[in-house]
Structure 1
Amino acid sequence: MFDWLNQTLSLAGLATTPLEILGFLTGAVCVYLNTQQNVLGWFFGIINAVLYAAVFWQVRLYADMGLQGYYFFTSIYGWWMWLYGGKNRQELPVTLTPRRLYGVFAAVFIAATVLWGYLLNRYTDASLSYMDSALTAASLIGQWMMARKYLENWLVWIAADVCYVGMYFYKDLHLTAVLYAVFLALAAMGYLQWRRALLRDAR
């Protein structure tokens, strides 16, 4: 019934599928709306997570596939937090990441990369096990930071997106690589816009 979603086609000289195109579009809309602090970005994030879970399963990037489940549930959480996570259940403002969390983030990143990478490498036919796991761990952290509206989430995404572009080109997910180049530009824009909002609210 849905075989047409996986039919190979060429878009601007890049091999892709309708499924990947839909993932591209919903992902770009999601991140753009997030840079604008528009809560509807989380709605598109939910759709995007479902689409890309299927894309990554097909190319054996299992850590990235599992990450989409996390994106699905944190998108619901982020939607609620942005609307009601502020004082007196009001809209959540942009804030700086509490310093006490940096140690936690570092520990989570190292542990998740090593453990997940080992398990994928040892028990599955996963491709690029440790790189995929490291980028997955960074994405786990960045997504949670975004749901909490911590400004520095965009710095995490900038670093991750640079690496994702290279990995997806290597795996012949050319349109997805282009999408992550767009994400990279949007992350830089998001950082600047959220920083301005933080400075404005501090006045």
Structure 2
Amino acid sequence: MSPLLALFDAQIHIGSASILWREVIGNGFGIASAIGGMKRVVWAWPVGIAGNALLFTVFMGALFHTPQDLNLYGQAGRQVMFISVSVYGWTQWLRSRHASGEAVLPRWASRRDRLLLVAGMVVGRVVFAQIFERIGSYGPWPEAWIFTGSILATYGMARGWTEFWLIWIGVDIVGVPQLLHAGYYPSAVLYVVYGAFVIWGFAVWLRITRRGNLQPVSP
């Protein structure tokens, strides 16, 4: 086995459980990206992309022969989505930083944008649940909630909407039990840790939003 392949398949053994190091590292990058997002620094996006690439191989467990041997198409698919939306967010924050010196200025979404977020969550969950069920995903309805919420939260972060942190909290509330049930214990634990950072991030952005602009900004 080559050193690179050995590193890719490296595991931690805790009792009878086998855990991939790349699952731990990928989630660690996710937490680092959340901290970067809270601090409104551009490097949050490329760090998150690196974690997404690692976690894609983890959640396509049957394809990459992980200890769980399960394909969570929603979890894996959202890693691809994260990479796509993160490129958009990275570009937006770079453009803003060059124009104003600030990568992003937190603000409330407009009423129209909030209604679109709610509608997107409802429609997206129904549509993606049907798709995930047809392709044999593990837990299609929770997967659809997590997938749709992740799309909306990442897009909200790119736009600078303070509400995106609240969407992440909703994703974590469903994601932690689902990951525990599927046997992805490091991801579940790190989701809990990530949830704490999300609450902290929301508090930081809320303070900036109140200081800078108390009213929702029209699109």
TM-score in terms of structure 2 length: 0.84
**Aligned residue among 16, 33, 38 for 1:30:** 33
Residue 113 of structure 1 corresponds to 125
**Aligned residue among 89, 97, 109 for 2:99:** 89
Question: Contact 1:14 / 1:174 at 8 angstroms: preserved in 2?
Answer: no
Deviation string 1:101-122 (CA, Å, 9 cap, x unpaired) is 1222222222221122112212
Distance in structure 2 (CA, Å) of the matches to 1:8 and 1:181: 21
Residue 171 of structure 1 corresponds to 182
Unaligned runs of 5+ in 1: none
Are residues 189 and 13 of structure 1, via their aligned partners in 2, closer, same or farther at CA, if it must alter by over 3 Å? farther
Distance in structure 2 (CA, Å) of the matches to 1:61 and 1:77: 25
Amino acid in the other structure paired with 2:86? S
Tell which deviates more after alignment, 177-186 or 22-31.
22-31
Task: Give the CA deviation at 1:8.
Answer: 3.5
Distance in structure 2 (CA, Å) of the matches to 1:53 and 1:167: 17
Deviation string 1:132-179 (CA, Å, 9 cap, x unpaired) is 011111111111001111011111111111211111111111100011
Question: Contact 1:158 / 1:188 at 8 angstroms: preserved in 2?
Answer: yes
Question: Contact 1:8 / 1:15 at 8 angstroms: preserved in 2?
Answer: yes
Report the secondary structure of 1:10's partner residue: strand
Report the secondary structure of 1:9's partner residue: strand
Amino acid in the other structure paired with 1:128? G
Question: Contact 1:49 / 1:71 at 8 angstroms: preserved in 2?
Answer: yes
Amino acid in the other structure paired with 1:197? I
Q: CA RMSD in A?
A: 2.1
Report the secondary structure of 2:40's partner residue: coil
Unaligned runs of 5+ in 2: 62-69, 215-219
Distance in structure 2 (CA, Å) of the matches to 1:101 and 1:197: 20
Structure 1 residue ranges (4+ consecutive) displaced by more than 6 angstroms after TM superposition: none
Deviation string 1:160-202 (CA, Å, 9 cap, x unpaired) is 1121111111111110001110111011000111111122334
Distance in structure 2 (CA, Å) of the matches to 1:84 and 1:98: 22
Residue 157 of structure 1 corresponds to 168
Tell which deviates more after alignment, 166-175 or 13-22.
13-22
Amino acid in the other structure paired with 1:63? G
Tell which deviates more after alignment, 112-121 or 169-178.
112-121
Q: How is 1:26-65 mapped onto 2 (pairs within 5 angstroms)?
A: 26-58=29-61, 59-65=70-76
Question: Contact 1:142 / 1:154 at 8 angstroms: preserved in 2?
Answer: yes
Amino acid in the other structure paired with 2:106? V
Distance in structure 2 (CA, Å) of the matches to 1:12 and 1:21: 17
Distance in structure 1 (CA, Å) of the matches to 2:86 and 2:50: 10
